[in-house]
Amino acid sequence: MAMMDTIRARHSVREYDGRAPEGAALEALTAVVEQCARQSGLSIQLVLDNPEVFQVVAKFGIIHGAVSSIAFVTARGTADDEAIGYWGQKIVLVAQEAGLNTCWVALCARRRSKARLATGEKVRLVIAVGYGLTQGHPRKTKTMDKLCTVECADSPAWFKVAMEAAQLAPTAVNHQNFHVTLRPDGETVRIEAPKGALNYIDLGIVKRNFEEVANETGARWCWEDA
Ligand SMILES: Cc1cc2nc3c(=O)[nH]c(=O)nc-3n(C[C@H](O)[C@H](O)[C@H](O)COP(=O)(O)O)c2cc1C
């Protein structure tokens, strides 16, 4: 379960050593950003030298020492949110595998981003990426009974491990505003989130974590709406 190990090892990191990604890590990051942009049709840009995007006045959620970010650019307001979460989390997982640390950052100085913007486009949010001073630390999570419902007789092993991946997914302010239901057939999976500022970005992130691990088990399963 290589992907599950990556997911267990990932934590948000807010203190970095001031270096941009380099060498093999930079190659892996560049490749996955290009791949995700191509497959999703989203504007996803790796911006290597842009510490200004993290210069915000706030009491919480400050990122120190990071110079590089992945910027999600859109002219569609919040309409791309789920896709941004889903494809962005793919980049987060590949970055983690490559020895980099990350943090999703909604509280950023959008106007100081060096991402290229066409008319009408804005930076929706960024992911900080670089070399952390620590690997971050585990945080509190909601319990499984709050996060999922199983409608078949027994919860299968593949679902349990995929739900652990969903439970460990980053969500804004650690809200974990999502619910997963395994349908009576034991294969169909529904995921829902209430409307809310960043909830659909979170939903996309959670879907990615769940899907990567469910697929890694080799189980037969599908999303309800797919
Ligand atoms: C959409 C989104 C936006 C976030 N924005 C910020 C932010 O502005 N500042 C920050 O420090 N952390 C931010 N985070 C990180 C969350 O606080 C973090 O993922 C959550 O507390 C869970 O911790 P973990 O990622 O270490 O598992 C954001 C996470 C997500 C998914």
Atom 29 (ligand 1) nearest CA? 172
CB 184 within 8 A of CB 151: yes
Cα distance between residue 169 and residue 3, in whole Å: 13
Model pLDDT, residue 67: 98
226 CA from centroid of ligand 1 (Å): 28
CA angle at 81 for the pair 144 and 123, rounded to the nearest 5°: 130
Q: Using a 6 Å cutoff on CB, does residue 135 contact ligand 1?
A: no
Q: Using a 6 Å cutoff on CB, does residue 198 contact ligand 1?
A: yes
Q: Using a 6 Å cutoff on CB, does residue 147 contact ligand 1?
A: no
CB 85 within 8 A of CB 208: yes
Cα distance between residue 138 and residue 179, in whole Å: 21
Task: Name the pLDDT band for 202 (thresholds 50, 70, 90).
Answer: very high
Task: Name the pLDDT band for 225 (thresholds 50, 70, 90).
Answer: confident
Q: Using a 6 Å cutoff on CB, does residue 200 contact ligand 1?
A: no
154 CA from centroid of ligand 1 (Å): 33
pLDDT in tens, 31-71: 999 999 999 999 999 999 999 999 998 777 789 999 999 99
Q: Using a 6 Å cutoff on CB, does residue 105 contact ligand 1?
A: yes
Cα distance between residue 71 and residue 85, in whole Å: 12
CA angle at 25 for the pair 4 and 82, rounded to the nearest 5°: 55
Choose one of 8, 10, 12 to mutate for the ligand 1 pocket test, by most ligand atoms within 8 angstroms of C-beta.
Answer: 12
Domain residue ranges in the chain: 2-130, 144-223
123 CA from centroid of ligand 1 (Å): 17
Q: Regarding the domain delimited by 144-223, which CATH topology (the fold level of the hierarchy) does it fall under? A: NADH Oxidase (3.40.109)
Tell me the CATH class for 2-130.
alpha beta
End-to-end CA distance of the chain: 25
Structure tokens at 168: 């460990």
Model pLDDT, residue 226: 64
Atom 21 (ligand 1) nearest CA? 174
pLDDT in tens, 90-124: 999 999 999 999 999 999 999 999 999 999 999 99
Cα distance between residue 183 and residue 86, in whole Å: 22
Q: Using a 6 Å cutoff on CB, does residue 134 contact ligand 1?
A: no
Q: With pLDDT > 70 as the criterion, what percentage of the chain qualifies?
A: 99
CA-closest candidate to residue 169, choices 226, 98, 111, 90: 90
Model pLDDT, residue 1: 78
CA-closest candidate to residue 200, choices 124, 100, 102: 124
Atom 9 (ligand 1) nearest CA? 61
86 CA from centroid of ligand 1 (Å): 15
